[in-house]
Amino acid sequence: MRRSALTLALAALAACGTKPREESDWERRNAQPAPVEEELALPAYPARGNLVEFGVAGADGFQFFVDRESVAVGRDGVVRYVLVARSPEGAENVTYEGLRCASAEQRVFALGRRDGSWSMARSAWRPLATPRHVTLYREYFCPQNEPVRSADEGVRALESGGHPFAKSLGGSYR
């Protein structure tokens, strides 16, 4: 019995002296903290003439629009935009949101009020879950899991019914 305890202690000591396991490039890249977010500047409240509709499968009569004037691509890799969701009865929800393409996450920054002002939201980044966010991610703003290069590129994708990379290269959602 004494001999097995000694063997166990020696094995534990030997394990302490082993070299740490090296991480792969993927592990190092994904273990990095999220980039520092840019300071938030709220856009102008959306005007009806600036709204571009995009289709969402299974929307049950809801219509979704992005304000073309609000689309912005930050140095932090976040695509920001104003989203308008209209119910079949005509009620509208207006939100200022962002998509973090590298991690396939979404966040609401502000909620629109009836008087055309904004109310800051207390939401955190979260994985994409709703069809509208998955559609914006996959088809318009994050083709091939990369952010569009500019606001103009994002607006062109909305106006043409999808980003060319998403259409021709079979864009994927993580």
Diameter of the chain by CA atoms? 84
Residue 107 and residue 100 in contact, taking contact as beta carbons nearer than 8 Å: yes
Q: pLDDT tens string for the chain (174 positions)?
A: 556 655 555 555 455 554 556 767 776 666 666 567 777 889 999 999 999 999 999 888 999 999 999 999 999 999 999 999 999 999 999 999 999 999 999 999 999 999 999 999 999 999 999 999 999 999 999 998 899 999 999 999 999 999 888 765 544 433
**pTM, 2 dp:** 0.76
Q: How far is CA 129 from CA 110, 125, 136, 166, in A?
A: 19, 12, 12, 19
Q: Name the residue with tokens 């994050």.
A: 142
Those residues whose C-beta lies under 8 Å from the C-beta of residue 31, and which sit 6 or more positions away, are 23
The token duo for 147 is 């952010």
Distance CA 127, CA 135 (A): 13
Relative to beta strand 78-86, strand 63-67 is antiparallel
Q: Take residue 29 and report the two structure tokens written for it.
A: 């890249």
Domains annotated for the chain, with CATH where assigned, are 49-168 (2.40.128)
Strands 105-112 and 92-100: antiparallel
